[in-house]
Structure 1
């Protein structure tokens, strides 16, 4: 009633409603009702009515989509100490909508200093009004900051420190899956997994920390990055940034451990080998890692720094090829219209460079150096014995089992020899999680002359019970119908053979399955 009559502040009814509202006995614990009463009573003064009009104008402007007008009204209320708790979120949402408009317009017509300046000013307003998370609005503000950071207009680490590194919602830890629609004859239904917001934010923060090399930045980012990496073990980039940050602060052993883990899972990515090369101290391994990286990528726009690192590793033994690497970088940058890297200029001014006749980069030359890198990568993984338990001749691969929790598949082309069921092989493997699924990365595999592990392979001799074409030995060993038929095994007959550890999916249990069995006469 007070708000309704506030347009006629001199009327008897307005004064009466103000008096009655003031005299109401409101429980002290009811803070919300007390606050609303104070707001209504404030309408009895000229200033109170003035600021109420500002408040109404701000809400009207927001509802009409005039977000910057709404912000102007809220800023005046804030400066005069007239902002109310229920206004704060409205103010925050107006700031968010205005920043979104600036970002959308900038993406279409390129960013300008004026628009970026307004966006940064509104982000500053958001922190001044003191809103916190976890909250949807808080998350959206962070997304705006991340968009500006990716364009180089904002540093995400100082922003994240103000925003609150613990203020993520559960939804911010979830990845989104996009399903493509059929467009122009393209594939329909193809799925693409997008990183969670937490992943994107801390990968950006890690890049900044690596660029600045400031200890306080590294100390802030590294613990958070470790939490994110635990949540998303299939993201090799998180391990990469962990390794590089650990190296920055001198924890080199830990850095190498992280690097080896992601290189084994991302061995087809040039950057993985380049990072490992940066971290190792052995000259032959470093050179081999850079050579592996150059063999892995042919995109010149990405590998300029890599070529220069390789050149520094080989110039003493082969200055002609080192000069060829440097000139390739210079030529590529000139063709693309970019500045020549300072490192390339520095190398080109050295005495060995002037005396050397350049030789163009070649695959065959790189291949001479890769062996130490390959050996270094696999040497950290212990050799385990495994048994070949089935073979797919049509698709040219075989399956092996190491134990109840570890098995894998190997292509014939990666195996030196002809695999047979029951063969003992020596393997180096690494368990991986890719897109939420458990995988086994086979690093090395070769025939072994060692005896079969008893937990994997056993000899048996006993009488068999044949039922519905399937054989069962007293100790639980299963004999498949194929073997029963091929060897003409009869019910009650004594049989002997070998059996491999096997998982029965129907009964959800482990047992042994015969790989060969013959009747004993």
Structure 2
């Protein structure tokens, strides 16, 4: 009857075989261990020893040319036969999990394997990022594991069947706990959004996607998912804007074929068939140049009546750029809009400066936001803003901006009537010796001293005198 001593002998045989590069002998020893009675296999000292043996061989398989993922899969399946003391640091069980994550696409049993592994048993060190010498911190094993589990659940597991809603719901709850404890796991909200989409809960997907896309606004795939969420909510214009933004990011054409096809189908749905055909032609051309063949759905599309009867739009007539410029508005539409006054404009720089209140001010680029180039000081804007740390003080970046006719609060702007005062030899002026008139405005008005005037004022901070006052931004004869 085999006993623990017999098991250790088989382990030593396996270790010697691995060191000698004798893979068949290694597997023979491992098979002998796997078929031992459970009471022997569940000795944790033996389990950890076998775990290291399995890990080093799996690592060697992945370092082969080409990588032997089938060999890793076989080793991982055998790993389930043993019990482990996971308090050991480092522990082979965590390292085996890393190998499983690496081959997940080629590991059909991944979902069942992770259930056996049980992510609730991740160790504290699994939540700590590893920083290689002279490099940047790498994603923690814990975040990698929860991401991989989410992908497997959405894919439907081993059978590739429809995802199990109960398991998806459980995942959402578990990831919520993980994010509460580790809010720095930046990619988990993105994965949770995909799970919400699989659950047909696009409103929750959107809640997770918006902050993620804000942090990864130059990644086409982030915008693609945001567009999909909006589409599922029935907001086709927002969806099209986000997909257009995805197509506007600097990305190889081959990586954009799915997004471009999605955009084309949405454009057609919205009645823009000429643009839809132009985009599909580009998809077809890219696929043929890259892979030399088309999926059946595109072959059917090419043969369809609408495709044959439609003339493709010229490149200059495509609206992708126009739609892409609207995407930022949808990205931030969950943030409150605030009323601001324009304090200065530079046509040459394409910039405008604004003030929200005495504590908050900032600037915006006119061409990036929905603001007309003819905006003037004293105009009102509706803004969504984000605090930014400057060298000396905090300033506020405009995320979205639009003109408005709403009246500005009296502590920001007001109207006036009075008498113009032009001090002799000075380029500037005053109204009733109270309100400052800047030189450019005074020169533009060309009004003589003593003229009865009216116009608009904005709150302004006099840095020289270190006090608040009022500055004239609109001036005309009363």
2:201 matched residue in structure 1: 251
Shift of 1:200: 2.0
Residue in structure 2 matched with residue 97 of structure 1 by the alignment: 56
Give secondary structure in 1 for the equivalent of 2:319. helix
1:193-217 CA-to-partner distances (Å, cap 9, x unmatched) read 4221222222233233333350244
Change (3 A) 1:249 1:56: closer
How many residue pairs are counted as aligned between the two chains?
398
How far has the Cα of 1:352 moved from its partner?
0.8
Is the 1:209–1:218 Cα contact (8 Å) retained in structure 2?
Answer: yes
The more displaced of 328-337 and 409-418 is: 409-418
Please report how far the alpha carbon of residue 86 of structure 1 lies from its aligned counterpart in structure 2 after TM superposition: 3.2
Correspondence for 1:86: 45
Partner of 1:8: none
Contact persistence 1:424–1:452 (CA under 8 A): no
Paired residue for 2:92, among 96, 113, 137? Answer: 137
Instruction: Indicate conservation of the 8 Å contact 1:51/1:77, yes or no.
Output: no
Give the CA deviation at 1:300: 0.8
Query: What is the Cα deviation at residue 363 of structure 1?
Result: 7.7
| 2: CA distance, partners of 1:352 / 1:209 | 38
SS class of match (1:302): helix
CA contact (8 A) 1:58 1:73 kept: yes
TM-score, scaled to structure 2? 0.66
Identify if the C-alpha distance between structure 1 residues 275 and 88 changes in structure 2 by more than 3 Å, giving closer, same or farther.
closer
2:140 to 196, 202, 214: 196
- Under a length normalisation based on structure 1, what TM-score does the superposition of the two structures give? 0.62
RMSD of aligned alpha carbons: 4.7
1:121 equivalenced with 2:70 (yes/no): no
The match for 1:214 is: 163
Partner residue, 2:454: none
Cα displacement string for residues 387-435 of structure 1 (whole angstroms, at most 9, x for unaligned residues): 999xxxx9x997978799x9877669868799999999753135799xx
Based on CA coordinates, which of the two structures has the bigger radius of gyration? 1
Unaligned 5+ segments in structure 1 are 1-45, 181-190, 455-497, 501-512
Q: Does the 8 Å CA contact 2:460/2:469 hold for their aligned counterparts?
A: yes
Residue 169 (structure 1) aligns with: 123
Q: Partner of 1:383 in structure 2?
A: 337
Alpha-carbon distance in 2 for matches of 1:398, 1:178: 44
Give the Cα–Cα distance (whole angstroms) in 1 for the partners of residues 45 and 278 of structure 2.
Answer: 67
Displacement of 1:61 after TM fit?
Answer: 2.2
CA distance in 2, matches of 1:168, 1:91: 19
Change (3 A) 1:202 1:47: closer
Q: Distance in 2 between matches of 1:49 and 1:286?
A: 62
Contact 1:54 1:73 in 2 (8 A): no
1:374-413 alignment, distance < 5 Å: 374-384=328-338
Return the alpha-carbon distance in structure 1 between the equivalents of residues 358 and 141 of structure 2.
Answer: 37
